[in-house]
DNA sequence: AGTCCACAGGAAGGGCAGGCGA
DNA sequence: TCGCCTGCCCTTCCTGTGGACT
């Protein structure tokens, strides 16, 4: 092969797989220059938080909306702008963003306080101190700011479900002894009904204002995809109908823009891998099943050993009798399995919790039913397509 | 109408690891 | 090093319950 030939091969390759001008733009964490179809929410939030720029304490806000409706994106956008303006006009304003869903960050009161204090510039060990001590660190950090601190708590519903609302109550009372500093809280929640779990006092102080993010409809998703697609992809890369299809599928998923972007990106990656010249609608279908498969495999991979063994028991029992497994039956099977494997056997109580966790992950479907005189149990069904189960068996131990 | 099964799921606490200050 | 604190996984003990059966 001549040098020229070799160069042609590379050249061809370069030409073939360059659907993407900038793939990052199709990632959900990318901050676009313009946020489409959220003007109303942006204006509302901006006017609620604007008093902070005068050093006044803004009202606490609750932001509601299902996944992929742009809540986090909009909040980040606003807090960036607040920071810029406050810097220009010499106002002391700080925003702190915490994602309460991240494990090891905000699943206990200690960790949450530690993380908040860290964000405000204090050095706090990840364990070892009494919680009250960490609380003091946090309050100190707030006092030192001598200005308004806006705490944005994303996925706040998971926090409240885990550690209760006492913590939030404490936060709302903080302003009484902060000196020159003021705190206000922006809570972001996926769950519209979640304030029902909360104490009425906390509820009323925290949700002084509420902003709702409705799901995007297919038309809006289409515009969002087109907008981002124009910057991320080459004009020639898309077959007619690809964007519409991504939008339509994502609209079925509660108007989830994240899903829409993922679909387009993954469809592109798959088409690229096959050396195609265009992304076709067929690749959107492939992307849909790949995303689902990856999500499940990733989730299961990260489960602890015992949880995997429980899942393996469910898979095997399901194969034997085709679904509707009840708890007692599963536990007996699991007990035998662990004995055969020489692994220790957990109690039924613990296994019951593991079943719940798998249920929350969406890997299985466990529903409490009553069998009348024959007691109450959970009917467990596996919630995965056969190809996903196969992939799990290939790539996860104990399965 | 009452019984009673087979669990669900809450509460409390044990034991261990990681990490702190003294 | 010790005493203390928290997180995590787990057990023990317990109360609650939907509805087929009697």
Q: How confident is the model at residue A15 (pLDDT cuts 50, 70, 90)?
A: low
Residue–nucleotide distance: A128 CA to C2 C1' (Å): 14
Predicted confidence (pLDDT) per residue in A77-111, tens digit: 999 999 999 988 888 898 999 888 776 666 677 88
Q: Are A66 and A254 in contact (CB under 8 A)?
A: yes
Task: Assess whether pLDDT exceeds 80 at residue A396.
Answer: yes
A352 Cβ contacts chain B strand, under 7 Å: yes
Look over chain A and give the mean of its residue pLDDT values, rounded to a whole number: 87
A136 Cβ contacts chain B strand, under 7 Å: no
Task: Assess whether pLDDT exceeds 80 at residue A279.
Answer: yes
Q: What is the pLDDT of residue A351?
A: 96
CA gap A74, A35 in Å, rounded? 8
The nt closest to A306 (CA vs C1′) is C9
Cβ-based contacts with strand C at under 7 Å: A 103-104, 107-111, 127-132, 304, 306, 344-347, 349-350, 353, 370-376
What backbone phi and psi angles, to 5 degrees, belong to A270?
-70, -40
Q: Which nucleotides of B are covered by protein (CB under 7 A)?
A: 3-11, 17-21
Q: Could you give the percent of chain A with pLDDT greater than 90?
A: 47
Residue–nucleotide distance: A114 CA to B19 C1' (Å): 14
Q: How confident is the model at residue A57 (pLDDT cuts 50, 70, 90)?
A: confident
Residue–nucleotide distance: A299 CA to C5 C1' (Å): 32
Residue–nucleotide distance: A313 CA to B5 C1' (Å): 25
CA A204, A210, A216, A221 dihedral sign is negative
Residue from A354, A375, A355 nearest A367 by CA? A355
Question: Nearest residue to nucleotide C11 when comparing alpha carbons to its C1'?
Answer: A347
Lookup result for tokens 């964000």: A119
Task: Assess whether pLDDT exceeds 70 at residue A265.
Answer: yes
Residue–nucleotide distance: A265 CA to C11 C1' (Å): 47
Predicted confidence (pLDDT) per residue in A229-244, tens digit: 988 888 778 888 999 9
Q: Are A27 and A154 in contact (CB under 8 A)?
A: no
Higher pLDDT, A195 or A47: A47
The nt closest to A377 (CA vs C1′) is B7
The nt closest to A374 (CA vs C1′) is B5
Residue–nucleotide distance: A368 CA to C17 C1' (Å): 11
| Complete DSSP assignment for A192-225 | TTGGGGS-HHHHHHHTSEEEE-PPPPHHHHHHHH
Q: Are A105 and A89 in contact (CB under 8 A)?
A: no
Q: Could you give the percent of chain A with pLDDT greater than 70?
A: 94
Residue–nucleotide distance: A308 CA to B14 C1' (Å): 25
A108 Cβ contacts chain B strand, under 7 Å: no
Token pair for residue A317? 């029992």
Q: How confident is the model at residue A280 (pLDDT cuts 50, 70, 90)?
A: very high
Task: Assess whether pLDDT exceeds 60 at residue A17.
Answer: no
Coil, helix or strand at residue A28: coil
Residue–nucleotide distance: A128 CA to B20 C1' (Å): 5
Q: What is the pLDDT of residue A13?
A: 63
Distances (CA, A) of A282 to A179, A208, A222, A388: 61, 48, 18, 19
CA gap A261, A95 in Å, rounded? 28
A130 Cβ contacts chain B strand, under 7 Å: no
Q: What are the beta bridge partners of residue A376? A: A370
CA gap A213, A67 in Å, rounded? 10
The nt closest to A370 (CA vs C1′) is C18
CA gap A246, A288 in Å, rounded? 9
Task: Assess whether pLDDT exceeds 80 at residue A70.
Answer: yes
Residue–nucleotide distance: A125 CA to C1 C1' (Å): 21
Q: What is the pLDDT of residue A295?
A: 87
Task: Assess whether pLDDT exceeds 80 at residue A187.
Answer: yes
Q: What is the pLDDT of residue A137?
A: 84
CA gap A160, A140 in Å, rounded? 24
A124 Cβ contacts chain B strand, under 7 Å: no
Residue–nucleotide distance: A248 CA to C19 C1' (Å): 43
Give mean pLDDT, residues A207-230.
Answer: 92
A373 Cβ contacts chain B strand, under 7 Å: yes
Q: What is the pLDDT of residue A314?
A: 95
Task: Assess whether pLDDT exceeds 60 at residue A38.
Answer: yes
Least confident of A160-169, A319-328, A369-378: A160-169
Q: What is the pLDDT of residue A182?
A: 87
Q: Are A152 and A95 in contact (CB under 8 A)?
A: yes
The nt closest to A346 (CA vs C1′) is C10
CA gap A155, A62 in Å, rounded? 11
Q: Are A53 and A93 in contact (CB under 8 A)?
A: yes
Task: Assess whether pLDDT exceeds 70 at residue A18.
Answer: no
pTM to 2 decimals?
0.77
Residue–nucleotide distance: A324 CA to B3 C1' (Å): 27
């Amino acid at each position: 092969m001549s040098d020229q030939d070799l160069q042609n091969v590379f050249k061809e390759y370069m030409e073939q797989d360059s659907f993407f001008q900038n793939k990052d733009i199709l990632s959900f964490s990318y901050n676009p220059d313009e946020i489409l179809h959220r003007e109303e929410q942006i204006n509302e939030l901006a006017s609620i938080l604007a008093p902070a720029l005068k050093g006044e304490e803004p009202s606490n806000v609750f932001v509601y909306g299902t996944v992929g409706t742009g809540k986090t994106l909009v909040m980040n956008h606003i807090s960036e702008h607040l920071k810029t303006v406050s810097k220009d006009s010499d106002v002391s304003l700080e925003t702190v963003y915490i994602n309460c869903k991240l494990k090891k960050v905000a699943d206990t009161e200690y960790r949450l306080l530690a993380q908040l204090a860290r964000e405000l510039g204090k050095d706090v060990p990840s364990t070892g101190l009494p919680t009250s001590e960490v609380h003091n660190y946090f309050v100190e950090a707030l006092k030192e700011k001598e200005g308004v601190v806006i705490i944005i708590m994303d996925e706040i519903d998971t926090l409240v479900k885990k550690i209760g609302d006492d913590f939030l109550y404490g936060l709302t009372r903080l302003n009484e002894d902060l000196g020159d500093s003021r705190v206000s809280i922006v809570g972001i929640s996926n769950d519209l009904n979640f304030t029902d779990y909360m104490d009425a006092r906390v509820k009323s102080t925290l949700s002084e204002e509420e902003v709702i993010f409705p799901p995007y409809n297919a038309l809006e998703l289409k515009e969002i995809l087109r907008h981002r697609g124009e910057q991320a992809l080459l004009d020639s890369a898309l077959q007619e109908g690809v964007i519409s299809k991504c939008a339509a599928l994502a609209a079925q998923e509660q108007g989830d823009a994240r899903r829409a972007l993922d679909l387009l990106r993954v469809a592109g990656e798959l088409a690229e891998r096959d050396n195609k010249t265009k992304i076709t609608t067929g690749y959107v279908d492939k992307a849909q099943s790949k995303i689902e498969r990856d999500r499940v495999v990733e989730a299961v991979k990260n489960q602890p050993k015992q949880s995997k063994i429980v899942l393996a028991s469910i898979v095997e029992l399901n194969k034997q009798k085709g679904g509707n497994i009840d708890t007692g039956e599963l536990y007996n099977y699991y007990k035998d399995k662990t004995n055969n494997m020489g692994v220790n056997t957990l109690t039924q109580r613990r296994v019951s919790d593991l079943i719940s966790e798998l249920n929350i992950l969406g890997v299985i479907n466990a529903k409490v039913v009553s069998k009348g005189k024959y007691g109450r149990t959970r009917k467990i069904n596996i919630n995965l397509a056969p190809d996903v189960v196969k992939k799990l068996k290939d790539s996860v131990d104990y399965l």
